[in-house]
Chain A
Amino acid sequence: QKEVEQNSGPLSVPEGAIASLNCTYSDRGSQSFFWYRQYSGKSPELIMSIYSNGDKEDGRFTAQLNKASQYVSLLIRDSQPSDSATYLCAVTGGNQFYFGTGTSLTVIP
C-alpha cells in the first residue's frame, strides 16, 4: 500500500464550479499535510498546509483534514482556467515526507 494515494484523474470541472480533490494516507502518526500545485513543466508550488483536524481556508482554497479517517482534501471554489494543473498531496511525520502521484485538474472555460 502506498503511503499517500490520490485519484490520478483527470478531473474536469466547468469554470466557476467547485473542484474537490482527495487524498488518503496510511501512516496514522502523520502530523503535517500539504497541497502543492504543479503546472506542466514547472516545479511544485505550495498552496496550502494543514496540521489539525477541520477546515482551513485561504482565499478560494479550503483544505480539510480528518485524521480519524486518514484523509485530507482540497476544495477550490469558483474554479478558474488558471487552476488547471496537477495537485500533489504531501504528508509528513518526522523526517519522512511522502508525496502522492497527483490529480490532474482541468477547468473548462
Chain B
Amino acid sequence: GAGVSQSPSNKVTEKGKDVELRCDPISGHTALYWYRQSLGQGLEFLIYFQGNSAPDKSGLPSDRFSAERTGGSVSTLTIQRTQQEDSAVYLCASSQPSVNEQFFGPGTRLTVL
C-alpha cells in the first residue's frame, strides 16, 4: 500500500504568518508522530498520537505549535506566528499499534523568511 504522505513538500512563508502542515499516515497505522529536523541535526520529537488517546504533546517547543488528528487518520501540524528559527524539515511517521517500527513520510521543508 501507499506510504506516509505529507504536504506540502516545501513551504516558504513570511515571519509572523501561520502555516499548516499535513500528514496522511499508512492505512491501519494508529500511531502517528511529528518530528522536526534542522539542518545537520538529529530528530526532535514534537507530538505523538495513539488511537483515540490524548496526544503526548511534551515535545512541542512553544504554544505557537499545535497539532490535531481527525478521525484517527490525517494529522495537521499548525505553527502560528512563525519565526525564522521554525525553519526546518518537519517529518511525520506512523506505526502499527503493537509494533514500534516507524515509517516516515518525505517531510515538509519549511522556510521562514
Contacts and interface: CB of A to CB of B under 8 A. Distances in A.
How would you classify the secondary structure of chain A's contact residues: helix, strand, loop or mixed? strand
Interface residues of B, number: 18
A42 B89 CA distance: 10
Interface string A92-109: 100101111110000000
A100 B42 CA distance: 7
B41 A101 contact: yes
Contact of A44 (B41, B43, B56): B43
Contacts of A1: none
Interface residues of A, number: 18
Interface in B61-92: 91
How would you classify the secondary structure of chain B's contact residues: helix, strand, loop or mixed? strand
Contact of A46 (B41, B42, B56, B102): B102
Contact of A43 (B41, B50, B100, B107): B107
A27 interface: no
A95 B104 contact: no
Contacts of A43: 91, 104-107
Contacts of A101: 41-42
B104 A45 contact: yes
A88 B45 CA distance: 14
Interface of B: 33, 35, 41-43, 45, 48, 50, 56, 91, 100-107
Interface of A: 32, 34, 42-46, 49, 88, 90, 92, 95, 97-102
